[in-house]
Chain A
Amino acid sequence: MKIGLFIPCFMNELYPNVCKATYKVLKNQGLDIDYPLSQTCCGQPMANSGCSKDVKNLAINFVNTFKDYDYIVAPSGSCVSMVKEHYAEFFDNDKDYNKIKASIYEVCEFLHDVIKLENIQFDMSFPYKVGLHNSCHGHRVLKLGTASELNIPYNSKLENILNKVNDIELVELKRKDECCGFGGTFSVAEEDISVAMGKDRIKDHLDSSAQIMTGADMSCLMHMDGLINRNNYPIKVMHIVEILAGVRP
């Protein structure tokens, strides 16, 4: 089983340690991981800004880069959902794209569904109160968890995985899956709403006595980390793979 590691462009530049943690978590499961160097960006920022036609070359580059892997795994629900949901317009039922669409996973989803929960072993302790921020694209598009709006049986792949970590305490939030207001270029174009949403999301975590806010999308966490640092809120953000890789706050 050959796995291609897909690292979102901004994470490669700004969060190499989270990328490293992703690599480590997968390696720890004894998996064969490759990191193809020709990857850049999935094109989501342009597409969400109404410029999807500028994304075609990036989509073609992405498919060429990853078409020969059995699985493509990324530490971002959002970038994975871009490839899965919005690339079809560039590929007319293309065999390589169809294969990628069926074999690309957010990293926790991959561990949960492909490696299977019962087979993953995390032998580490994380003795902190943790709030899980369910980033929207992973949560509602990839369905990593049951959205609070729906009347279907509850499940959360991220909670299931975090519950395998020793000594962790997941806190109950008032709004389980409210958006944090990052939204890509929304964070700049609608700055005031974006900031208000981010602060409200952080407050929900603080009110629940969380020491750590975690999630499966670094972009949302980057937005809230920016607010936390600016306002000296007593909470830290950590990507979920950092917890799974044994990183301490």
Chain B
Amino acid sequence: MSSHYSDKFVYHEPGLQHQFDDMGQQEESVSIGMWFFLVQEIMFFGGLFTAYLVFRSKYPMAFAAGSNHLDAFWGGLNTLVLIVSSLTMALTVYYAQKGNRNMQVILIVLTMIFGATFLGVKAIEYTDKYNHGLIPVAGLNKKVKAEAGAEHGGAAEKPCWEVDHNAPPVEHPNPHGEFIWTDCSLAKMALDENILTASEKNQYLVRDENNKPVIDTNKFRDKVRIFFFLYFVMTGLHALHMIVGLGLMTWLLWSAFKYKYNGDYYMPVEMSGLYWHFVDIVWIFLFPLLYLLGRHFIHGG
């Protein structure tokens, strides 16, 4: 006789899976599994952080220039939203342990609202990049036809570092939706103050007719594009994790609504909470790296 049949007559705690002996063992297993999964996630993002580190140390001015185009207000708002959502998530775990169903439902809904807000803000930011031709893959940006009457020739004559930062933004013609970057004032400043790194000198500059090094718009643009590439991959992967998190929340909401969690069984809530906090923490690193570093070149003197 197989142990299958005898199992039916043995008392089983609700939620205990067949391979475990008791809830303690199950909770320990699930918890270790989740922590190692998060370690795996750290390595996953770690590859991107490494790439960021390498290119930032190679092209600090291009990264500062790209970083300055990101809106620290939206980034800061999102940071705030995520931190508060972590609080509501932590409270959800607390109320799951207490077996308070109504508070669980309210807090999960709040967490989901914050998560959706984050994604909404991200969508606003991405749209802005789309409109300004800052998506690094050619063809994915807004296609702006060159107007027949408009005179862009005059602007093109001006060197790329002579930019009026207070002027209203100009929409550049971009018939193929390519990546556009016309402002190399930061690199020029660094060149004048002689703080360009060796690899920057190598990679930004060309010799003009007097054999003097000058900034090359296209060369500088390529480096800014690498910044935006990393920006999109990192925040995109993060947003993907947020979407998965929202899926988890939907499932939690349903099962919490069904009175599933109480002091004896709350691991799904706690594990989803761990995941949520992890995604939050990734953002805590992304925000300063992408939005804040290098701002002092323009905003702080």
Q: Tell whether A and B belong to one assembly.
A: no
Q: A interface vs B, CB < 8 Å?
A: none
Q: B interface vs A, CB < 8 Å?
A: none
